[in-house]
Amino acid sequence: MFVHKNFRKIYHQIQIFSRNEQGAIAIIFGLLIIPILGFFGLSIDLGNVYYVQSVIGGAVDAAALAGGRSGGTPEKIKAQATAIFNANIPKNLIGSISAPTITLTQNNTVVKVTATGTINNYFLTLFGISTVTTSQSSVALVTTKGAEVVLALDNTGSMDGSPMQSERDAASQLVNILYGGNGTSGGSDTIPGLSVAVVPYSTTVNISGITLKNNVKWLSAAGQAQVANTNLYPNIAAVTGTSVGGKWMGCIEARAPLSTSGLTSSQITAYGYVNYPNGTDTTDATPTQYPFSPFLYPSTMIHQYVFGKPLNRGTTSSATTALETPPWGSKGSTRGDNDWRLNGTVPTSTLFFGDNYSWKSADGNYGVGPNLGCPVPMTPLQTSQTVVQNTIKSMLATFRGGTMINLGLNAAWWTISPNWNGTWAQPTPAPVLPNGATLPQAYNNTLKVVVLMTDGQNQWYDWPTGVPGLPDNTNNYKADADYTGYGRLAEGRSGTTVAGNTGTTLNARMTNMCTTLKNNKVVIYTIIFTHGNNIDSSTQKLFQNCATDTSHYYFAPDNATLLAAFQNIGQQITKLRLGWAPNY
């Protein structure tokens, strides 16, 4: 008001001066004084605007940084940003300042603070401009905690076709959300502290291409010799897109006790196996502690089948004399459940030699070969979204053997277990972790998450078209089933020799691991994808109990609900990264 009165006095003096006719100089001065005073008044008004802009700009900068550094829930971020904004606004500021508008974008990883100020003018009111409005904004990244996330995904034969495509799409969107995208695009290739692993599973997992640190070997000495034995593994050329030929593809067997069945310890070793202590298939023991045996499905034309005994994989006995004659001779069925010759040919046109993926238009159950039932390779923790997405894109339905979810969960545990720190090689780009830490970190140093998905239950499948299989009392064949990560059912490595009891024994193993993981503060999400099939109540209860709580369990009857479940899990993990603490 004081400034406004002074302007009126000056303006009045100018009017008096302009009426003075004392000479030309007075007239010229009178003409010049108006723009001079105008510029003086304008500078005052603009100075006020600049001052208010500076105050608001500093306040929104401070608010955005404070909100971003506070982390936590969106409500906590907004509250902290508002408090800091208000603390940076002077009490008697010229003009009025609106309350800040605070928005969170990119899955709550970016905070934006905007505020508006209105300033009253003095000189400009003479020209009809009574106020000036100015707005300022500031953006900051929200501080997020690190996270190690592993996806254990069902790649069994029942996923063939649309279900597998839906699983790939859903998993891809979850990963994109974790890396700051909207599910289908956007985000970054790396985010500090975030690493993701993918474990495709069937009745086994594939460790092909994964080199361990310090020259640690995945396989036992006998196993290493076995996969190098070209006499045992036929010299069959690889076919791009369909088969690695007669080579070992990279799948491994469960580390479970062998029933000796009359075999001595030296015989078991000579056969290419390790007789593991009970329960090793439910631990996070490293290969240094307990090396693996390679998974290879023996030919039912070449390798003699002996009920209840593990295959003697250290010899090619009878390989040349029984090429056309199954071990069971002419009794009963003349087809075994994995008939193939050393040269890669098959005894009937209905069979095809390959790696048993859904690339074949025919029923995948008619594939044969030493890698029958072996899924695509797993990927340990990676920092690059591109690497993770490529693994997901590579997934294919893998036929035969059945579904052994417990072995998928076991491999997922290895990827995030601190016990494996120093065993896994570090990814590229190298992880950016506090104090130069390496992966996997200690349980309390970072958020660890398992996402476990299946479309079925733990079960041991038996291909009904070939033997050994269901009991044949006429020909005195005992009950057995497909070769899996636990060998043949009759060997008893899974803890039972009865197919109907398989679910119970494998469920118990899975439950033990779920409990151990949760006791170590690992967050577990579980998903059952039925795609029109029925899932027994015991499996539903198993997955409900395995999850961290009921809100972490998802039942997806169709493709749309599966996609929604994975999207929601991606968003939930992102929120957990904002507010995670060691003792959550």
Contact (CB, 8 A) for 221 and 290: no
Return the structure tokens found at 304: 């003699």
Fill in the amino acid letter for 248.
Answer: W
Question: Which pairs count as long-range contacts for 497-505, CB under 8 Å and 24+ apart, including other chains?
Answer: 497/308, 499/460, 499/462, 502/402, 502/458, 502/459, 502/460, 503/457, 503/458, 503/459, 503/538, 503/539
pLDDT at 2 over 50: no
Residue 326 is predicted with a pLDDT of 58
Give the mean model confidence (pLDDT) for residues 84-112: 87
- The pLDDT confidence band at residue 101, using thresholds 50, 70 and 90, is very high
Is the C-alpha dihedral spanning 487, 489, 490, 491 positive or negative? positive
Per residue in 165-176, pLDDT (tens digit) is 999 999 999 999
Per residue in 305-351, pLDDT (tens digit) is 778 888 777 654 444 444 445 555 554 455 788 888 877 888 888 88
Which of 154, 159, 79, 155 has its CA nearest to residue 111?
79
pLDDT at 484 over 90: yes
pLDDT at 557 over 80: yes
Give the mean model confidence (pLDDT) for residues 501-517: 97
Domains of the chain, start order? 2-141 (no CATH), 147-579 (3.40.50.410)
Return the structure tokens found at 475: 């020909």
Per residue in 485-498, pLDDT (tens digit) is 999 998 899 999 88
Q: Return the residue matching tokens 């479940």.
A: 565
Which of 273, 253, 276 has its CA nearest to residue 263?
273
Q: Which of 14-18, 21-25, 371-375, 405-409 has the highest mean pLDDT?
A: 405-409
- The pLDDT confidence band at residue 95, using thresholds 50, 70 and 90, is confident
The SS3 call for residue 126 is helix
HSE (side-chain half, CA atoms, 13 Å) at 147: 27
Residue 448 is predicted with a pLDDT of 97
pLDDT at 564 over 80: yes
- The pLDDT confidence band at residue 92, using thresholds 50, 70 and 90, is confident
Give the mean model confidence (pLDDT) for residues 565-584: 80
Query: 15: buried, middle or exposed (CB in 10 Å: 19+, 13-18, 0-12)?
Result: exposed
HSE (side-chain half, CA atoms, 13 Å) at 556: 29
Residue 434 is predicted with a pLDDT of 80
Fill in the amino acid letter for 496.
Answer: T
Task: Flag the least confident range among 206-215, 288-297, 477-486.
Answer: 477-486
pLDDT at 3 over 50: no
Give the mean model confidence (pLDDT) for residues 526-530: 98
Question: How many other CB atoms sit within 10 Å of the CB of residue 398?
Answer: 32
pLDDT, averaged across the chain: 85
Query: 555: buried, middle or exposed (CB in 10 Å: 19+, 13-18, 0-12)?
Result: middle
Task: Flag the least confident range among 70-74, 244-248, 389-393, 561-565.
Answer: 70-74
pLDDT at 510 over 50: yes
State how far the Cα of 52 lies from the Cα of 370, in Å rounded to an integer: 76
Residue spans of beta strands (DSSP E) within 388-446: 402-403
The SS3 call for residue 479 is coil
Is the C-alpha dihedral spanning 541, 544, 545, 550 positive or negative? negative
- Give the DSSP per-residue string, 19-84: H--S-HHHHHHHHHHHHHHHHHHHHHHHHHHHHHHHHHHHHHHHHHHHHHHH-SSHHHHHHHHHHH
Give the mean model confidence (pLDDT) for residues 22-48: 60
Give the mean model confidence (pLDDT) for residues 371-387: 96
Residue 473 is predicted with a pLDDT of 63
Please state, for a pLDDT cut of 70, what percent of the chain lies above it: 83
pTM of the model: 0.81
Return the structure tokens found at 395: 């997934």
Residue 270 is predicted with a pLDDT of 76
Give the mean model confidence (pLDDT) for residues 58-67: 90
* Angstrom distances, CA of residue 549 to CA of 13, 127, 154, 183, 544: 82, 67, 21, 25, 7
Give the mean model confidence (pLDDT) for residues 84-102: 88
The SS3 call for residue 385 is helix
pLDDT at 187 over 90: no
Q: Return the residue matching tokens 């890698």.
A: 371
Per residue in 119-169, pLDDT (tens digit) is 887 776 766 777 888 899 999 877 767 899 999 999 999 999 999 999 999
pLDDT at 107 over 80: no
Contact (CB, 8 A) for 144 and 421: no
Per residue in 194-238, pLDDT (tens digit) is 999 999 999 999 999 999 999 999 999 888 888 886 556 667 888
Which is higher by pLDDT, 95 or 27?
95
* Angstrom distances, CA of residue 345 to CA of 323, 338, 353: 11, 12, 7
* Angstrom distances, CA of residue 578 to CA of 108, 178, 195, 248, 300: 8, 12, 15, 43, 55
* Angstrom distances, CA of residue 434 to CA of 80, 355, 415, 577: 25, 42, 19, 15
* Angstrom distances, CA of residue 16 to CA of 21, 25, 123, 565: 10, 15, 20, 82
